Amino acid sequence: MRVAMIGTGYVGLVSGACFADFGHVVTCVDKDAGKIAALQRGEMPIYEPGLDALVAANVRAKRLEFSTDLKAAVGAAEAVFIAVGTPSRRGDGHADLSYVYAAAKEIAAALDGFTVVITKSTVPVGTGDEVERILRETRPDADVVVVSNPEFLREGAAIQDFKHPDRIVVGAEDERAGKVMQELYRPLYLNRSPIVTTDRRTAELIKYAANAFLATKITFINEIADLCEKVGADVQEVARGIGLDNRIGSKFLHAGPGYGGSCFPKDTLALIKTGQDREAPLRIVETVAAVNEARKRAMARKVTAALGSSLRGKTVGVLGLTFKPNTDDMRDAPSIPLIIALHDMGAKVRAYDPIGMEQARKVLPELHYCEDAYECAKGADALVICTEWEQFRALDLDRLKRVMGPKPAIVDLRNIYPPDELRRRGFIYEGVGRPRENGH
């Protein structure tokens, strides 16, 4: 089947490459000519494990190409995906749908023959109706159906998630469109991946409900972690103790510096807005968003607690800048408010990230960037582990001890080190939701 992917960002590029790998002929379109030119040269605009090889193999097999020519790609396609960004609208937190609607207008003008237009972007309930209205208004003659097919891939494991999803959600009420969707995902239908077929509005809401629930789970354990610190309990054990209950599940129960990334912050806000507009306020999600926002800066106070004094004039190293490991995505990373707060408190901050420093420089241009973890630790009074990259899990503690300041503190925001061992080796250790040195 011929597929046009409109928007070649994280989701568009990964989905386009995976559909090509399923055997379809895919054109990934973007209006960013620089991005398309780079992709045509074989350069990836994002860091995602396995993506470069997958793209190269499918380009070689002539099933995947990159273009700025939306008209030609859409005209030739039976399935057109909208995978453009839906960031938070400045000022009010609603999803900014201007990119989706602009893409819909361009697609409308280029439609040729029966076409299924599929919204993969995360969009509020009712957006599919508006996309359909735009298509019909612009091209009353077109034979077109609009389907919702939200994407659930996780950055850092995106290809695996796309090819082995927990479920595929298809919001399609039209039989012909249903057949096109089945053909598109044929390998996944064959290996019996769970498919949830529903109406379009329900499909749109499933995506937001899923992200809001996961954000809630993270925030719940973060607040339990705060309580653990006050009462001398260990959040890791609490998480294990509740996570083994099948009704709860062990995933997303890792206490940390608060959720970030390109989806949870903006999607929770957009869902809150939808609830308020429809007079069905989502008070739990409202609280989750507020608690999470406050938490990020509060993490800087952990550094003060570890050092037992003001941060003025102190040197703090930050390990890990991206919002999670195995991606270079810096969108809404918790490291950003943390580093700004450390600066505000008078600390000299240096940082290292294995992959994300190029992206980080765009957001934090003034920051001192280091070559590796040990250079980052050099002379530091405190070392903050902000993102749990594999390479930070087995740091040479003796070497750290040698290069850091005289009373070195490790602030482990991901709880990846055993507190007792670090304390035995002469570090001050501060985790999240773990018993403090003095018992509480």
Ligand X SMILES: NC(=O)c1ccc[n+]([C@@H]2O[C@H](COP(=O)([O-])OP(=O)(O)OC[C@H]3O[C@@H](n4cnc5c(N)ncnc54)[C@H](O)[C@@H]3O)[C@@H](O)[C@H]2O)c1
169 sits near ligand X (criterion: CB under 6 A): no
Does position 8 bind ligand X by CB under 6 A? yes
What does the per-residue mask of binding to ligand X show for 248-287, with x meaning CB under 6 A?
--------------xx------------------------
Closer residue to ligand X, CB minimum distance, 361 or 436: 361
| Nearest approach, Cβ of residue 216 and ligand X (Å) | 18
Least distance CB 22 / ligand X (angstroms): 18
Of 264 and 427, which has the nearer Cβ to ligand X? 264
SS (H, E, C) the chain: CEEEEECCCHHHHHHHHHHHHCCCEEEEECCCHHHHHHHHCCCCCCCCCCHHHHHHHHHHCCCEEEECCHHHHHHHCCEEEECCCCCECCCCCCECCHHHHHHHHHHHHHCCCCEEEEECCCCCCCHHHHHHHHHHHHCCCCCEEEEECCCCCCCCCHHHHHHCCCCEEEECCCHHHHHHHHHHCHHHHHCCCCEEEECHHHHHHHHHHHHHHHHHHHHHHHHHHHHHHHHCCCHHHHHHHHHCCCCCCCCCCCCCCCCCCCCHHHHHHHHHHHHHHCCCCCHHHHHHHHHHHHHHHHHHHHHHHHHCCCCCCCEEEEECCCCCCCCCCCCCCCHHHHHHHHHHCCCEEEEECCCCHHHHHHHCCCCEECCCHHHHHCCCCEEEECCCCHHHCCCCHHHHHHHCCCCCEEEECCCCCCHHHHHHCCCEEECCCCCCCCCC
417 binds ligand X (CB under 6 A): no
What's the rounded Cα separation, in Å, for the pair 378 and 271? 44
User: Which residue's CB is nearer to ligand X, number 32 or number 293?
Assistant: 32
By the rule CB under 6 A, 30 interacts with ligand X: yes
Residue (of 82, 70, 63, 68) closest to 134 by Cα position: 82
Shortest distance in whole angstroms from residue 358 CB to ligand X? 15
Q: Does 29 bind ligand X (CB under 6 A)?
A: yes
Q: Is 119 in the site for ligand X (CB under 6 A)?
A: no
Residue 275 bridge partners (DSSP)? none
Residues 286-321 as b or e (16 or more Cβ within 10 Å = b): bebbebbeebbbbbbebbbebbeeebeebbbbbbbb
Candidate ranges 23-31, 72-80, 125-133, 288-296; the one touching ligand X (CB under 6 A): 23-31
86 binds ligand X (CB under 6 A): yes
153: contact with ligand X by CB under 6 A? yes
Q: How far is the CB of 210 from ligand X (least distance, A)?
A: 10
Segment contacting ligand X by CB under 6 A, of 102-110, 183-191, 305-313, 339-347: 102-110
**For ligand X, which residue has the nearest CB?**
9
Choose the stretch contacting ligand X; rule: CB under 6 A; options: 98-106, 174-182, 186-194, 370-378: 98-106
- Alpha carbons 385 and 319: distance in angstroms, whole number: 5
The verdict on 39 binding ligand X (CB under 6 A) reads: no
Q: Which residues are catalytic?
A: 263
Distance of alpha carbon 205 from alpha carbon 196, whole angstroms: 13
CB of 261 to ligand X, least distance (A): 7
Contact call for residue 206 and ligand X (CB under 6 A): no
Q: Is 32 in the site for ligand X (CB under 6 A)?
A: yes
Interface region with ligand X, contact rule CB under 6 A, candidates 25-33, 49-57, 223-231, 426-434: 25-33
Task: Name the one residue in this structure whose structure tokens are 């960013």.
Answer: 32
Helix 127-138, helix 200-231: angle, nearest 10: 150
Told to check if 102 binds ligand X by CB under 6 A, we report: yes
If the CB atoms of residues 9 and 325 are measured against ligand X, the closer one turns out to be: 9
What is d(CA 138, CA 105) in angstroms, rounded to the nearest whole number? 7
* Sites for ligand X among residues 359-398 (CB under 6 A): none
> Site for ligand X (CB under 6 A): which residue of 74, 77, 79, 84?
84
Q: Which is nearer to ligand X, 106 or 286 (CB)?
A: 106
Q: Which is nearer to ligand X, 119 or 216 (CB)?
A: 119
- 328 touching ligand X, by CB under 6 A: no
CB of 155 to ligand X, least distance (A): 5
Q: Is 97 in the site for ligand X (CB under 6 A)?
A: no
Segment interacting with ligand X, rule: CB under 6 A, options 78-86, 129-137, 246-254, 410-418: 78-86
Binding ligand X (rule: CB under 6 A), the pick from 21, 48, 65, 155 is 155
- Here the tokens at position 326 are 């195995």
Region from 8-16, 59-67, 125-133, 196-204 binding ligand X, contact rule CB under 6 A = 8-16
- Residue 290 interacts with ligand X (CB under 6 A)? no
Binding site for ligand X (CB under 6 A): 6-12, 29-32, 35, 70, 83-86, 99, 102-103, 106, 121-122, 151, 153, 155, 262-263
